[in-house]
Amino acid sequence: MLLHTVFSAGLGLAFSAALAAADGPSVEFHNGSGVLPPNLPFSEAVRVGDLVFLSGQIGIAPGGMKLVQGGLAAEAKQTMDNIRKVLTSNGYAMADLVKCTVMLADMADWPAFNEIYKSYFQGRYPARSAFATNGLALGARVEVECIAAAGTRTDSKK
| CATH label of the domain that carries residue 148 | 3.30.1330.40
Domain count, the chain: 1
40 Cβ contact partners less than 8 Å away, ≥ 6 residues apart: none
Q: Is the pLDDT of residue 16 over 60?
A: no
Q: What is the pLDDT of residues 6-15, one digit of tens each?
A: 334 444 444 3
Identify which has the larger pLDDT, 22 or 43.
43
Domain hosting 83: range is: 25-152
Q: What is the mean pLDDT of the chain?
A: 85
Angstrom distance (rounded) from CA 63 to CA 82: 10
pTM of the model: 0.81
Q: With respect to residue 19, please indicate whether it lies within any of the assigned structural domains.
A: no
Q: With respect to residue 82, please indicate whether it lies within any of the assigned structural domains.
A: yes
Backbone φ and ψ for 38, nearest 5 degrees, come out as: -70, -10
Q: With respect to residue 125, please indicate whether it lies within any of the assigned structural domains.
A: yes
- What is the pLDDT averaged over residues 74-96? 97
Q: With respect to residue 16, please indicate whether it lies within any of the assigned structural domains.
A: no
Q: With respect to residue 10, please indicate whether it lies within any of the assigned structural domains.
A: no
- What is the pLDDT averaged over residues 78-107? 97
Query: pLDDT category, 2, cuts 50, 70, 90?
Result: very low
